[in-house]
A = this chain, B = another copy of it.
């Protein structure tokens, strides 16, 4: 799926910033693509970018309106349809991560047919992929893996990209989830791909590249999550990761949505290497990223220092302390590649 920037971020009339999380995330990570926001009366979210009408957005070169908000249930509210139709009639493409397919709504399908604009439902995967080949391809790849779902894998990969680009390194975030696809303008919601094509999709998402180029591949789930481990394994095999970073939330006691406890970081490292070496025998753990939001600063620093001495790799909270030490490790691998 390839989504054309720049974007107009549609925030609807959501009641709070949480409901606009996708849109705010896009603005955070791709401010240069986000020309403006479109908000309806009563919207309680604000991305702090110019409020534009559809006509103004078109005049400023916007190519795609991204629905960056959700209501309860992930369904498209009826009163958002008029804005989507107007965007399509003005020639903009429209992209959403909602559970409703845009083309399932007659007015939207008809408007897209009239204008020839593209409809992107990033939650669905209609793209055909080849099965994974497993043959090592050029370029370097770092995958974020997790002790659970929702432990900062996307954020860490994006923070790495930002820091690496700031240093002049060749680096691209590679999206495997919905929000990530909007942020990178390309990718696939890997959890929606037919099971046979998980690793093949990742081979497409993070294709062959120059030998000194890093892909920062957004991980999904956990090899230890009983619902989603198959996704995580196919992703690991398809990424052919040279390096991986373990993401962790230290106060969580149960994995999300199930009755399983979390694995230890050691278990995740060992299993990731045991499985990952199938498609890249050089795979190694190069760091640990911890979400320390619920800890005081002193407690957080002590935890990270303990992890560094236990595992012999840098440990950081990407939001609180940055990812400089993690990037240093990737620089070393690149220099020796």
A interface residues, Cβ below 8 angstroms from B: 125, 131-135, 190-196, 198-200, 223-224, 226-235, 237, 257-260, 271, 274-275, 278-279
- Which 6 pairs across A and B sit closest by C-beta, in order of nearness? A134-B226, A230-B234, A191-B196, A230-B230, A131-B227, A198-B230
In the complex, the count of this chain's copies comes to 2
A133–B125 Cα gap in the complex (Å)?
A: 24
Given A229-B275, A260-B134, do A193 and B194 touch, yes or no (CB 8 Å)? yes
Contact in complex: A231, B229 (CB < 8 Å): no
**Closest B-chain residue to A259, C-beta based?**
B135
> Knowing that A198-B231, A199-B228, A231-B234 are A-B contacts, what are 5 other residue pairs whose CB atoms are under 8 Å apart, sorted by A's residue number?
A132-B227, A192-B194, A226-B237, A230-B231, A233-B233
Contact in complex: A224, B278 (CB < 8 Å): yes
Q: How far is the CB of A274 from chain B (nearest CB, A)?
A: 7
Residues in chain B near residue A192, CB distance under 8 A? 194-196
Partner of A195, one of B223, B226, B230: B230
Q: How far is the CB of A188 from chain B (nearest CB, A)?
A: 10
Contact in complex: A134, B274 (CB < 8 Å): no
Q: How far is the CB of A36 from chain B (nearest CB, A)?
A: 34
Residues in chain B near residue A227, CB distance under 8 A? 131-134, 196, 199-200
Contact in complex: B194, A191 (CB < 8 Å): yes
A235–B232 Cα gap in the complex (Å)?
A: 13
**Closest B-chain residue to A131, C-beta based?**
B227
A315–B233 Cα gap in the complex (Å)?
A: 29
Q: How far is the CB of A255 from chain B (nearest CB, A)?
A: 8
A235–B196 Cα gap in the complex (Å)?
A: 12
Contact in complex: A133, B230 (CB < 8 Å): no
Partner of A226, one of B125, B133, B223: B133
A223–B199 Cα gap in the complex (Å)?
A: 13
Residues in chain B near residue A190, CB distance under 8 A? 195
Residues in chain B near residue A224, CB distance under 8 A? 278
A274–B224 Cα gap in the complex (Å)?
A: 10
Contact in complex: B199, A229 (CB < 8 Å): yes
